[in-house]
Amino acid sequence: MSDYRERKALIGGGAVVWTRTAGAGPQRVLPDGCTDLIWSGTGPDGELIVAGPDTRAHLASGPPGTRAVGLRFAPGAGPAVLGVPAHELRDLRVPLAALWPDAEVRRLAERIAERTAGRETAPGRVLEEAALGRLRTAEPPDPVLAAIIAGASRGTGVAGIAAAVGLGERQLHRRSLAAFGYGPKTLGRVLRLNRALDLARTGVRFAEVAATAGYADQAHLAREVRTLTGVPLSRLLAAPGG
């Protein structure tokens, strides 16, 4: 069984630092609208990769016992650190060296290697420091992102979100692609899925989950869960880690 833990990141903004030790078999990573900067302990010196925003579940695999540490940015926050629009990373896992200068990635890998021996928290701290350094010189965040997230979370339609933030629908779509990796409609589906799963994990009946999370009915919830995660809700909750 894999072991997973997370904590709030020092950089704030809803970011978290997570640690996962691989168990037997792949781990199902669900879409959440986020991007991650990840150090994986594979190979002699480990590797640095970026996980883009997913539109469907991703199966992460590795030899049992392999440790990975990631800095997960809240929806819309990753591009400021990673330096590329989110849609360029959608459903992808790419080496950090494909996005940052080789010398910068090398220095980051060396700092992790120097500080990791015997210290489980070291990779996460180094990733946070790297992100903070980049945020100091990044452009200010798009001021409409919070309102887009709020509207998508409430289930507001695209036209309603566009009107609320004072944008045309096409402009809203372009800015959502750059920030989140997909348009506001898909963002809403992903956020609704995670809200539903949070409820279901507490033991709430599926029919009540559907009504509370904003699905038309339980059948609609079942279809969306299978589409976005690849498995039925009952199987998803029964898996190790739920």
What pLDDT is stored for residue 117 in this prediction? 61
What is the structure's pLDDT at 175? Answer: 96
pLDDT at 118: 52
State how far the Cα of 158 lies from the Cα of 76, in Å rounded to an integer: 17
Give the single-character DSSP code of 231: S
Question: Any bridge partners for residue 73, and if so which?
Answer: 35
Bridge partner list, 27: 60
Would you give the distance in Å from CA 211 to the centre of its chain? 25
Side-chain half-sphere exposure of 204, counting CA atoms within 13 A? 17
Q: What is the pLDDT of residues 184-233, one digit of tens each?
A: 999 999 999 999 999 999 999 999 999 999 999 999 999 999 999 999 99
Quick one: which of 171, 169, 150, 149 has its CA closest to 158? 169
pLDDT of residue 233: 95
The pLDDT value given to residue 46: 84
- At residue 119, what is the residue type? R
Taking only the tens of pLDDT, the chain with its 242 residues reads 568 899 999 999 999 999 998 877 788 899 999 999 999 988 777 899 999 999 999 988 777 888 899 999 999 999 999 999 999 999 999 999 999 999 999 999 999 988 776 555 689 999 999 999 999 999 888 899 999 999 999 999 999 999 999 999 999 999 999 999 999 999 999 999 999 999 999 999 999 999 999 999 999 999 999 999 999 999 999 876 55
**Alpha-carbon distance 187 to 193, whole Å?**
10
Radius of gyration of the chain (CA): 18
* Cα first-last separation, the chain: 12
pTM: 0.91
Spatial contact of 207 and 116, defined as CB atoms under 8 Å apart? no
